[in-house]
Amino acid sequence: MTAIPTSDRPFSPLLRALREEGLARLAPKVPRVSLGMASCGLAAGARETWDALRAALAGRDTVACLVPTGCLGWCQKEPLVEVRLPGSPALVFGRVTAEAADQVAAWLAGGELPRAHLLGQYPAADRSDGQTQPTTPDPRFPAGEIPLIWDLPFYRGQLRWVTRNCGFVNPADLAEYVARGGYLALEKALARGPEWVVEQVTRAGLRGRGGAGFPTGAKWQAARRAPGEQKYVIANADEGDPGAYMDRGLLEGDPFSVIEGMTIGALAVGHCHEGFVYVRAEYPLAVERLETAIAEARKAGLLGENVLGSGFAFEVHVVRGAGAFVCGEETALLASIEGRPGEPRPRPPFPSEKGLWGRPTVINNVETWANVPLILMSGAQLYASVGSEGSKGTKVFSLVGDVSNTGLVEVPMGATLRHMVEVNGGGLSRGTRIKAVQTGGPSGGFLPASLLDLPVDYESLTGAGTIMGSGGLVVMGERTCMVDVARYFLSFTRAESCGKCVPCREGTHRMLQILERICAGGGRPDDVGLLEEWAWAVKDGSLCGLGQTAPNPVLSLLRYFGDELEQHVRDRFCPAGVCRELFRFGIVPETCTGCGACLRACPRGAIGGEPRQPHIIDQARCTLCGVCRDACPFEAIVVEPRSPADEGVNRNE
Amino acid sequence: MSASTSVRGISPPHPEEEEAIAAEAAAIARSLRDRPGAVTAVLETVQQRWHHLPVAAMRAVARELGIPLSRVYGVATFYAAFSLSPRGRHMVQVCLGTACYVRGGTKLAEALEEHLRTPMGQPSADFCFHLEGVRCLGCCSLAPVVRVDGRTFGRVRPQDIPRLLASVLARTGSLQGGDGT
């Protein structure tokens, strides 16, 4: 775990004062209890934890600062609570439900440490900006071995640069952000000028984190050179890829870094005094946190007429999307901000020449903007020293699906999928065998388990037939049917196609029809060839990125999971046990112990048998819901091909 | 209660009611007209007020912003957040993003359809709930996820649904009445 050098001190009196204030809040004289309250934390029950913590601390007359933060990344363990005793390293507790919150409060009041919830500790100097030396430890600090948080498998090999503040600072507190080195980069940028900024970003090798990987420096340079008296910067926070949520994580956990990045970008582009953050409708909390942060920055003079007293004027507005996946495409996004249906248009002209209201506009993803302060703060050279040949810096991935540890994982570019899935992710959460990892959302593709050693960067993923996308990694175990998932993605792209161009509108519809037919057991011998033909037609003929990438799930299905597709078409069999017309459940008598778990779980009473005797499934009653398979502790329930006798059964379920 | 009649949309709104809607929608449009790309923001506010976009409101918005009704309609039908037909009072959104899909989101959707006795995308018969499938709420790590009235619940199992919905009703008071405000 390499920390980001923040040895520089701010120059301006304003930032110096904010920094002092922030340091005092990050390491107060009383315990600091912070709770991850991003959307994920709240979904795991953080609101109840908050209420319980407050009541329990008050009830015991314990003096402590209770602070809401964003997400520390390890969502599987949420609600996450961090307790920092004065002069001691911070401790992290996981799965702190309301009940556990009471135990934490009891410990602070002198009781016993809730060891079952303790995950680990931060290194003494880390995360406090090197300010607090380990002084006299607090007597409440537990004796004995406590693992360092960065040594836990979930964090091993991670390099938390962009997410350095997430889960640590209060996202509404500007002073805490400044105490962590915030706005040092803007100060530098103002002192050294736009040319220097563009050069640094270029030399750092930063590429667009939205997925296409376009060099950011080149984009900025183009907008800088474009003629125009009014230019714009936009943060694309229309994170539409299902399965990816790093933008939400950043906006809810560290909104100031995005605002600072945009301010620096506006300065670099020149003639730019307005910026927009386009946030999708499904992220209300991100909008709220962002608006708070903008108001705070404006109040302090870090946005507005006279940024940091430099005479440079810059404002940021938040625009909420209204639920359209295609608006993540930059030209569609522009149309949407202008108040039109979000339909893309051909490029060129690129937005850097003709963007919002026809003026030069730089559109970057949220994560890209959040990288900018980091680059200026640490120096382009250090930044570029991390990563692979063509992809520099780190990338935040959202590791989700059939994996034990779900969460946001930030690793150097070029880390392997295997490391993320097996070490950070801790392997599979159900089933035993990894079948595929899906990257890049509906525009991406599936990678089979045999490619897990692939280093993850823009080039190698493209080479393997998928894309980086915004960084979603959905792990799929053997109980996932790849044909069904491809069908799922096609139903998504068909519904989200804006309908402007024919190949995308009609092609996604056709491919979906074929896949639906196959999944329903009506596959025809020429379907596989037909699918491939359609896929290339849509890929080659579509207007925008949505259409051009919509066939990717189909193409990677054909490339890596052709056998499974063949089984569906030719043998009318779904080996994963998902497509209900194409399998049945059976019980292996030799493996079944007659424990009765499946019998009790079955909602239809379709399983019979005596205790300690092998059970039997009544196929006529079985609806193939799979509850029994989930309930069986011995893997005795297996997927079998249908026999002719099953025909006509379950058809209408 | 006049407002609730229009929300339910069982019969078309009364002419006086339509006038009232138009007047209020025009006021909303006036207050937001200076915003860049105002149409979307205006329609969002209108939708918040009536839980859908009444025709009278869309006409008033077009008039007030000085744009053709077809453009307002174009925006209203393009984005998923807008609805031209009345919605139930409590929004029940089941996430059908990839992570939720892989972790059993469809089973959850089926259970909700069964429990509320209403198909996806429709209000329940008493307009108490509105069931909707959404693409990714960004809580993929806690899949499968359900959002009820803006509150997100993670790791939901089909058997949790009755309790979860009951808790929402308990928070807001009762089953019947009072909405549109």
C-beta separation of A582 from A573 below 8 A:
yes
Most A CBs within 10 A among B42, B103, B142, hence the mutation to make, goes to B142
Q: In A31-140, at which residue ranges do the beta strands (DSSP E only) sit?
A: 32-36, 65-69, 81-84, 91-93, 118-121
Most B CBs within 10 A among A72, A230, A474, A630, hence the mutation to make, goes to A474
Q: Test A339 with B145 for CB contact under 8 angstroms.
A: no
Of B75, B81, B139, the CB nearest to A43: B139
Residue A211 confidence class, pLDDT cut points 50, 70, 90: confident
Q: Please name the amino acid found at residue A567.
A: Q
Q: Which helix (H) or strand (E) segment is A548 a member of?
A: helix A545-549
Closest chain B residue to A430, measured at CA: B103
Question: CB contact, 8 Å: B45 with chain A?
Answer: no
Most B CBs within 10 A among A77, A246, A282, hence the mutation to make, goes to A282
Q: In A280-344, at which residue ranges do the beta strands (DSSP E only) sit?
A: 315-320
- Closest CA relative to residue A484, chosen from A580, A628, A627: A580
Phi and psi angles of residue A614, each rounded to the nearest 5 degrees, phi first: -55, 135
Number of alpha carbons in the 13 Å side-chain half-sphere of residue B148: 19
In A, which residues are within 8 Å of B80 by CB distance? 322-324
C-beta separation of A4 from A185 below 8 A:
no
pLDDT confidence of residue A533: 96
In A, which residues are within 8 Å of B41 by CB distance? 320
SS3 B167: helix
- The β-bridge relationship of strands A472-477 and A434-439 is antiparallel
C-beta separation of A140 from A394 below 8 A:
no
Q: Tens digits of per-residue pLDDT, B100-133?
A: 998 889 889 999 999 999 999 999 998 889 999 9
Per DSSP, A5 falls in state: P
Q: Test B39 with A244 for CB contact under 8 angstroms.
A: no
Torsion of CA A333, A338, A344, A348, to 10 degrees: -100
Of A43, A282, A341, the CB nearest to B153: A43
Q: Test A401 with B82 for CB contact under 8 angstroms.
A: no
Supply the pTM of this predicted model.
0.92
Of A44, A243, A336, the CB nearest to B140: A243
Question: CB contact, 8 Å: B156 with chain A?
Answer: no
What is the rounded CA–CA span in Å between residue A417 and residue A419? 5
Question: CB contact, 8 Å: B137 with chain A?
Answer: yes
Q: Test B140 with A406 for CB contact under 8 angstroms.
A: yes
Compute the nearest-CA separation of A54 from chain B (Å): 21
In B, which residues are within 8 Å of A39 by CB distance? 137-139, 152
Q: Test B142 with A75 for CB contact under 8 angstroms.
A: yes
Q: Tens digits of per-residue pLDDT, A336-363?
A: 999 999 999 998 999 999 999 999 999 9
Phi and psi angles of residue B18, each rounded to the nearest 5 degrees, phi first: -60, -40
Q: Test A44 with B81 for CB contact under 8 angstroms.
A: no
- Closest CA relative to residue A474, chosen from A244, A283, A158: A244
In A, which residues are within 8 Å of B75 by CB distance? 339-341
Query: So what's the ipTM on this one?
Result: 0.87
Question: CB contact, 8 Å: B146 with chain A?
Answer: no
Compute the nearest-CA separation of A431 from chain B (Å): 12
- The β-bridge relationship of strands A584-587 and A637-640 is antiparallel
Number of alpha carbons in the 13 Å side-chain half-sphere of residue A371: 30
Residue A467 confidence class, pLDDT cut points 50, 70, 90: confident
Question: CB contact, 8 Å: B140 with chain A?
Answer: yes
What is the rounded CA–CA span in Å between residue B67 and residue B139? 38
SS3 A529: helix
As a whole number, mean pLDDT of residues A247-251 equals: 96
As a whole number, mean pLDDT of residues A455-467 equals: 90
Q: Test A498 with B80 for CB contact under 8 angstroms.
A: no
Q: Test A485 with B102 for CB contact under 8 angstroms.
A: yes
Share the mean pLDDT of chain A. Answer: 92
Torsion of CA A318, A322, A324, A326, to 10 degrees: -30
Whether the bond into A86 is cis, omega within 30 of 0 = no
Residue A604 confidence class, pLDDT cut points 50, 70, 90: confident
Closest chain B residue to A42, measured at CA: B152
Minimum mean pLDDT range among A42-46, A234-238, A621-625 = A621-625
User: Positive or negative CA dihedral for A558, A562, A567, A573?
Assistant: negative
What is the rounded CA–CA span in Å between residue A82 and residue A108? 12
As a whole number, mean pLDDT of residues A7-34 equals: 90
User: Positive or negative CA dihedral for A161, A166, A169, A172?
Assistant: positive
C-beta separation of A399 from A420 below 8 A:
yes
Q: What interhelical angle do A194-204 and A216-225 show, nearest 10?
A: 150
In B, which residues are within 8 Å of A406 by CB distance? 99, 140-143
Residue A160 confidence class, pLDDT cut points 50, 70, 90: very high
Q: Test A341 with B75 for CB contact under 8 angstroms.
A: yes
pLDDT confidence of residue B8: 45
Residue B1 confidence class, pLDDT cut points 50, 70, 90: very low
In B, which residues are within 8 Å of A70 by CB distance? none
Q: How far is CA A533 from CA A65, A227, A499, A529, A536, in A?
A: 62, 44, 20, 6, 6
What is the rounded CA–CA span in Å between residue A605 and residue A618? 9
Residue A519 confidence class, pLDDT cut points 50, 70, 90: very high
Q: Tens digits of per-residue pLDDT, A641-652?
A: 988 776 655 544
Q: Test A242 with B140 for CB contact under 8 angstroms.
A: yes
